[in-house]
Amino acid sequence: MKGQYIRLEPNENNTHCSVYVQKYDVASEIAAYFGAFCVQSHDPIAKRPPQQMTSTDPNDPIADALLGESTYERLRVERYALIKRRIPQKLVYQSGLLFALALVVPIVATYPSAVQAAFPGGDPLWSSPLVLWVGVYAGGIELGTATCLVAVAIARRRYEPSLSESQVHALLNVEDVASMFGLATGGFAILITVGFFLLGHAGVETVSAVVESAPRNPYGRTGVPIPVTAVGAAAAISSGIVYAVGRYLARV
């Protein structure tokens, strides 16, 4: 029979321990006998400094928010919300919606000649149809809610070390409401606007059928002369500004 001493690491009582393992055969089976021997040592035990719990995966934003020092991010992840993205990402989405609204200009500019003649004045680019005002309201919603999101982001970054949980919940409420109006309500209105303008490419018969079935002509002239080109240009500029602000907030 052969045995072996295995030296262990010292414990909290500064005691070095060794384990003696003795092996022998019993009916072709291997058994082991363990004996522990402890010897008091006067060598100091090196202690490691306590380590703060951090996220082990830098690509896991949820773990970073829960384990990080930001109360805002922790409460944002813990609470229920239909739109869970961060503010910079929401601004990028709103920028995309504004860009979609700006597409009404190339859509209208490429109408067949028969469809262009159906618009007031025969020039749809400089007309102000009723359906365009849905897009105007949608663009206003997008700009207003984007401003609210930027204000929340600025307030959070400026006052976050001293913000209480009740104040953080108030900011999150503003963010949630702005996100729902901007991405849901405003986005739906923009889709309706773009959809009505796309019907012009289906032919003059389709446009006539829509006009006859609707209670009011969606392509008729309105009292406020805001042309399609002005709305498209404003939407394109706003899209670029909102996108730039979203990317800036993502870097700082």
Most confident of the ranges 9-23, 34-48, 214-228: 214-228
131 and 11 fall within a common domain? no
User: What confidence tens digit (pLDDT) does each residue in 8-38 have?
Assistant: 555 555 555 554 445 444 444 444 444 444 4
> Is residue 50 assigned to a domain?
no
Q: Is residue 75's pLDDT more than 80?
A: no
* DSSP H helices in 180-219: 186-198, 204-213
CA distance 177 to 96: 19
Q: Is residue 47 part of a domain?
A: no
Q: Are residues 14 and 78 in the same domain?
A: no
Q: Are residues 91 and 14 in the same domain?
A: no
Instruction: Check whether residue 122 and residue 19 sit in a common domain.
Output: no
Q: What share of the chain is helix, strand, coil (3-state, %, to 5)?
A: 60, 15, 25
Residue 74 lies in a domain: yes
Identify whether 55 is part of a domain: no
The H-or-E segment that residue 16 falls in is strand 15-26
Asked if the structure places residue 132 within a domain, the reply is: yes
Domain count along the chain? 2
pLDDT band at 74, cuts 50/70/90?
confident
pLDDT band at 3 (very low <50, low <70, confident <90, very high): low
Confidence of residue 2 (pLDDT cuts 50, 70, 90): low
Give a yes or no: residue 202 inside a domain: yes
Q: pLDDT band at 122, cuts 50/70/90?
A: confident
Contact 171, 155 (CB under 8 A): yes
Q: What string of DSSP letters covers 216-233? A: S-TTSB-SS---HHHHHH
- Domain membership of residue 53 (yes or no) is no
Rounded to whole angstroms, how far apart are CA atoms 142 and 149? 11
Assess whether 71 and 35 both reside in one domain: no
Report yes or no on 46 lying in a domain: no
129 and 215 in a single domain? The answer is yes
Q: Which domain range does residue 157 map to?
A: 61-251
